[in-house]
Chains A and B, each alone.
Chain A
Amino acid sequence: MNSRSSNEPTDSALAAPRGEQGDSSYPSVLAPGALGRRKLRYFTAIVVVAAAALVRLGFLQALGTRATFVTFYPAVMLAALYGGLPAGLLATVLSAGLADYFWLEPAGLAIQDPGDWLAIAIFLGSGTMISAVTEAMHRAQARAREAEIRAGLAAAGRREAEALKKAHAELEIRVQERTAELKRTTESLRQSSLHARSLIEASLDPLVTISPEGKITDVNQATEQATGVPRAEMIGSDFSNYFTEPDKAREGYRRVISEGCMRDYPLTIRHTSGCTMDVLYNATVYRNEGGQAQGVFAAARDITERKRAEAELARYREHLEDLVLQRTDDLARSNRDLEQFAYVASHDLQEPLRAVAGFVGLLRQRYQGKLDEKADGYISSAVDGVTRMQTLIGDLLSYSRVGTKGIAMEPTDTGESLKDALTNLHASIEESGAVIQVDPLPTVRADAGQLTQLCQNLIANAIKFRSDKPPEIHIGARREQDAWLFWVQDNGIGIDPQYTERIFMIFQRLHTRQKYPGTGIGLAICKRIVERHGGSIWFESQPGWGSTFYFTLPDKGEPV
C-alpha cells in the first residue's frame, strides 16, 4: 500500500507535507513507486556512468590518460541530481572503478602511482561532495516547495477561514432573522392558542376531549362546574364516571368511534353534590393531518330547562285534555237534558191539549147553531188554535226525536229511503200531478228512517211550493271528496236568497198560513237530520225560477 506516494494535487495541497526522505522531492512523472523509484535511481546512475565511460572512450584519442575523470563528473552530478545521495555515491564509486580499470596504468583495478591514488581520492571526495550538495539542494528545494505548499495552504486556509467567517457572519444574521421570525410566530401561535383556549373556556357548554382509550384528555371550565370536579382530577380519568348511567355513556362513545359523529345523545351528568343535569351530547372524532383519529370531542347542551318546559307542557296538555273531556261531558249532558226536556215537554203537553180540543170540540158539536154567530166564531177559532198548537207540539216532538230516537248509522240504500218517502207522499204526488225523476242513488252510512223523513220533507216542500205548472222534481247525487252530494231540484216558486239562513230555522215561514199551510218545521228537521249525519244543507234559487236543495252525507270511502 502506497497511498502516501500518490501525488494528486489536492491531497498534496491540503495534507501536511511529510518531508519523507527524498520521496517527495522527486519529479512526479518519474516516481511510480518508492521501491521502483529506488531501483530506477540506481539504474539511472549506472546508465549515466556507462554513458560517461563511453564518452571518455570516445575521447581516448584526444585525451589519452589525461583528465580521466572529466566525463565522470557530469555523470555523478546527473546521478545525484536524479537519485540523490545514494545514487550519486554509487555513480562516484562506479566511475572511480571504471576510470581506474580502463584509464589508469596499469590496466585493471590495481593502482601504483600515488598520484593516481590522489586523483581517485579527490575524485571520490568530489563525487561525494557533489552528491551530498546535490542531496542538500534537493532537500532545500523540497523544503522550499513544502514551505510554498504550506504557505499556499496557509493562504488557502486563510482565504477559507475568511470565507468561513463571512459565511458564519451571514449565517449568524440569517439565524438571528429566523430566530426573530420564530419568536414572532411562536408569539402569534401562543396568542391564537390562548384565544382558542379562552373561547373553549368561555363556552357555556361543557366540552371534553376523550382519548381513544376512553380517558379524559381535557375539559373546560363549564365541565368542571357541571361535575364539581377540578380539571386536574378529571384528566386521565374514565369519562363515564361522571354520568348517572356510565354504560349508556360508554355506548355513546362507542357509537361516535364507529360512526364518526353523533348528535343529540341524551345523558345525565352527575355532580359531586348529588345534583344531576340532563344534557344532549354532540360528539365527533377529531383527526390529525394524516387522518388518524386522535380522540373524541364532545359538547353537552343543557336541556334541564327544556325538559322542565316539556314536562310542564305535557302537564298542561293533560290538564287541557281533562278540561276538554269534562266540557264534552258537560255538553253532552246538557244536550241530553235539553232533548229530554223537549221530548217530555211535548209529550206531557199532549194531554191538556187534548182536553181543551176535546171539550171545545164537544162544545161545538153540542151547541153549534144553538148559540149566536159570535159564539160559533169563538168556538171555531178556539178549535183552530188548539189544533194548531197540537200540530206545533207534534212537530216539536218530531224535531227533538231526530237526536234522541235516531238509530245507529248503517249502510243504507238511499234509493230505497227515497222510495219510502215517495210512497208516503203518494197522495199529494197524484193530486198535484208531480213528475219525479230519480237518478241512481248510492248506498251510504245513515239512519234509514231519518233519511226517508229528510227526502219526504224536501219533496213535500217541492210539491207544496209549486208554480202554475205541474211540479217537475229531479233528484240525483254525485260523488265529492269524502262525501256524497244530493240534490232535489224543482220548478216551483223559488226562494229569495236573502232568506238563506232563515228558512232552516224552527217555525220560520216565508208565507202566510193562508197561502201555504205548514208550521215551518220541515226544513229545520231536514237540517237537524243532515247535521246529525255530519253533512251540510243549503239551497240555490231565484224567485220564479224554482229551487235546488243540496245536502251532503259524508262517506269516507269505506267499502260498503
Chain B
Amino acid sequence: MVEDSPSDAQLTVEALHAAKIANRLSHVEDGVEALRFLRREGPYADAPRPDLILLDLNLPRKDGREVLDELKQDSDLKVIPVVVLTTSRSEHDVLRSYQLHANCYITKPVDFTQFMEVVKAIEHFWLTVVTLPKEK
C-alpha cells in the first residue's frame, strides 16, 4: 500500500484484519519509497514482491501518477495489478489513471463504514476471485 495518510493507512489495515483474509501488507508513504520498495533497492533489498498494489495518487516527493507511469513501463513490474485508491473523484484523474494502465480506479468513500467495505471488496476480488500471475 502506497499511502501518505496515517489514518487512512490504519483504517485500511483494520479493514483487512476484519476481513480475516490471510495476507501480508507492506506500507510505504511516498512515491520514491514505493519504487525503491518494488525494485528492492537499498533497505528494501529483502522486500517481498507484492501481489497487489494499492496506490494513492496524491503523494509527497513523487506523485502517484508518476509512480503508476513508471511501474507500467517497467517490464518486470508492470504485471502486478495496481488499484488506484484515492480521494480524488476528478474525471481527469480517472481517465489519466486508466490511460497509464491502472487496473482499476476506486474513489475512497467519505463514509468510513463504506470505506471498510470497499477495502474488503478489493481484497476479496483481487486476492480471491482474480487469478494473479505467478512470479517467475
Contacts and interface: CB of A to CB of B under 8 A. Distances in A.
24 contacts: A347-B87, A350-B108, A351-B5, A351-B7, A351-B8, A352-B7, A353-B110, A354-B7, A354-B8, A354-B110, A354-B112, A355-B8, A357-B112, A358-B7, A358-B14, A358-B115, A359-B7, A359-B11, A361-B112, A361-B113, A362-B11, A387-B111, A390-B110, A390-B111
Contacts of B8: 351, 354-355
A458 B118 CA distance: 32
Given A351-B5, A351-B8, A352-B7, A358 B112 contact: yes
Contacts of B112: 354, 357-358, 361
Interface in A200-253: none
Contacts of A352: 7
A353 B111 CA distance: 9
B89 to A, nearest CB: 9
A355 B11 contact: yes
Interface string A249-263: 000000000000000
Contacts of B108: 350, 354
A296 B98 CA distance: 87
Contacts of A33: none
B29 to A, nearest CB: 14
A394 interface: yes
Interface in B94-122: 108, 110-113, 115-116
Contacts of B116: 358
Interface of B: 5, 7-8, 10-11, 14, 87, 108, 110-113, 115-116
Contacts, number: 41
Nearest to A383: B112
Given A351-B8, A359-B10, A362-B11, 12 more contacts: A352-B7, A353-B110, A354-B7, A354-B8, A354-B112, A357-B112, A358-B11, A358-B115, A359-B11, A361-B112, A362-B14, A390-B111
A215 B8 CA distance: 100
B38 to A, nearest CB: 25
A354 B119 CA distance: 14
Question: B interface, by DSSP: helix, strand, loop or mixed?
Answer: helix
A386 to B, nearest CB: 8
Nearest to A347: B87
Nearest to A355: B7
A216 to B, nearest CB: 80
A211 to B, nearest CB: 83
Question: A interface, by DSSP: helix, strand, loop or mixed?
Answer: helix
Contacts of A353: 110
A249 B112 CA distance: 88
B15 to A, nearest CB: 9
Contacts of A361: 112-113
B134 to A, nearest CB: 35
A357 B5 contact: no
Contacts of A357: 111-112
Nearest to A354: B112
A348 to B, nearest CB: 9
Contacts of B115: 354, 358
Interface in A332-359: 347, 350-355, 357-359
A116 B110 CA distance: 202
Interface string A367-398: 00000000000000000000100100010000
A528 B5 CA distance: 34
A362 B14 CA distance: 8
Contacts of B110: 350, 353-354, 390, 394
Contacts of B113: 361
A402 to B, nearest CB: 16
B42 to A, nearest CB: 29
A239 B87 CA distance: 85
Contacts of A350: 87, 108, 110
A394 B111 CA distance: 11
A195 B108 CA distance: 100
Contacts of B11: 354-355, 358-359, 362
Nearest to A357: B112
Between A347, A353, A358, A359, the greatest number of chain B beta carbons within 10 A of the residue's beta carbon is seen for A358
Contacts of A355: 5, 7-8, 11
A390 B110 CA distance: 7
Nearest to B18: A365
A351 B111 contact: no
B117 to A, nearest CB: 12
A536 B108 CA distance: 36
Between B111, B113, B115, the greatest number of chain A beta carbons within 10 A of the residue's beta carbon is seen for B111
Contacts of A359: 7, 10-11
Nearest to B4: A351
Nearest to A393: B110
Contacts of A351: 5, 7-8, 87
Contacts of A347: 87
B19 to A, nearest CB: 13
B123 to A, nearest CB: 17
Contacts of B10: 358-359
B78 to A, nearest CB: 29
A350 B110 CA distance: 6
A357 B115 CA distance: 11
Nearest to A361: B112
B65 to A, nearest CB: 17
A355 B4 CA distance: 13
B4 to A, nearest CB: 10
A394 B114 CA distance: 15
A384 to B, nearest CB: 13
A308 to B, nearest CB: 56
A361 B15 CA distance: 12
B6 to A, nearest CB: 8
A357 B108 CA distance: 14
B106 to A, nearest CB: 14
Contacts of A387: 111
A60 to B, nearest CB: 187
Nearest to A386: B112
A387 B115 CA distance: 13
Query: What 7 A-B pairs are tightest by C-beta distance, nearest first?
Result: A355-B7, A358-B112, A357-B112, A358-B11, A361-B112, A390-B110, A354-B112
